[in-house]
Chain A
Amino acid sequence: MRFGILVFPGTWSDQDCYHAITATLDQPADLLWHKDSNISLDDYDCLILPGGFSYGDYLRAGALASLSPIMGPVKEYAGRGGLVLGICNGFQILCESGLLPGVLLPNVHLEYRCQWTNLRVERDDTPFSGASSKGDVLRIPISHGEGNYYAHADVLEDLEKKGQVVFRYASHDGAVTPKDNPNGSMNNIAGVMNARGNVLGMMPHPERCFEDLLGGTDGALVFRSLFESVAGRAV
């Protein structure tokens, strides 16, 4: 399985994703430069849009990167059903590109937050969460200033009805409460996918917890899910 990791100016989780993928899956990954509008993405089984401050997040988080040359091929790739995972700033870029519904507003308390969060797995039948079970609580950290998920009432209702919410902020025993919502996201949404189920955006950073030395290994489940999904598809 080959991963493509997009690099925009200001991206900083590219290397972290690279290490997490190679360490947990022992699979190849390439860094893809944002200016490459003619790139062929056919060789990749999954694209990752990592965290960071692409273009400084000037104007609006993810807004400028969504217009970057490489995003044309990325949209075509997603349109063909290719797997796309956006983490943190990558989630913001996917929303700004229209590949995911909704938008990420500044955190409700207007502060940046870097802390561990608990995520309740809402779906275990997606390529992003198949290695976990519905109802599992994963401990994965966030690090963002604009992660407050917002969508219009009808969009939100539609998302919930179609089961597009994959991860929700929760307590350590899986209760979804306002107290466990670190940024004010509607319905405690931490990760959401498109209707087709091949594009997921999540604010927490799974690439930050794939070994005990770093305080946890739950993030590896997200990468393992992708791997199992692709391996299963190939068989």
Chain B
Amino acid sequence: MDNQEAKFILKAYRPGGADAGNAVFCEALAQARHDPELHAWFEREQARDKAVAAKLKSLSIPVGLRESILAGGKMSVTRRSWWQQPSWLAMAASLAIVLSLAVVSQLRTARLDLGQLTAQILDDTAHGERHGSHGQEASQLVAFLSQPTTKLGSSFPLNLGQLKADGCRTLNFAGVEVMEVCFERNGGEFHLYVMARPSSRDLPKGPQFVAQNGLHSVMWTGDHHLYVLASSKDEAALQALL
């Protein structure tokens, strides 16, 4: 680096020493320490810069400018009502989403009239058709349900997706998929309808028995599913399976 280059760099060195730690100036500063001519130039340069900087900083600020800025800033901030603040808006948006989901869920549940569901299931059972399916999941479930010792009335392992894949009969009730698995037990034919447990507060806490046109059903809920067991057998026969 020659002195011309060093001068070019050192002209950007602030007179107050704020650039002392800036590595860009190290080499040029070192050169100024060792070169008398450059050293003298740098001292003059810094003295003049310092004098100009001091003059600029001595300029008075118009009276009232600070207050005007503060007032203007507050106005621009307070122009928004509290509910227009970004944090509140974000919170409101989140709340709106949660409420929307809740409403959708409620609407689904509302549409999912459990009484109507039971009625339709009994209508479906009245046709007397027995539906089979293939696949391991469906076969295992049928075997499980057919065992005389199996107690229903609570939760048991089910994979609705796999049942559907296995060709298990799937009905659509108010937008909700309901699987039907048919099995025999104690000399009678039973139809188990299963669906994902709806998030309704009005789900039955215990088994709900319904009779319709000589057919009977019982509804109960497990941890993840809602079950309706229907048969031409009477209520006692259904009760015996629970």
Q: Does A associate with B in a complex?
A: no
Q: Which residues of A contact B (CB under 8 A)?
A: none
Q: Which residues of B contact A (CB under 8 A)?
A: none
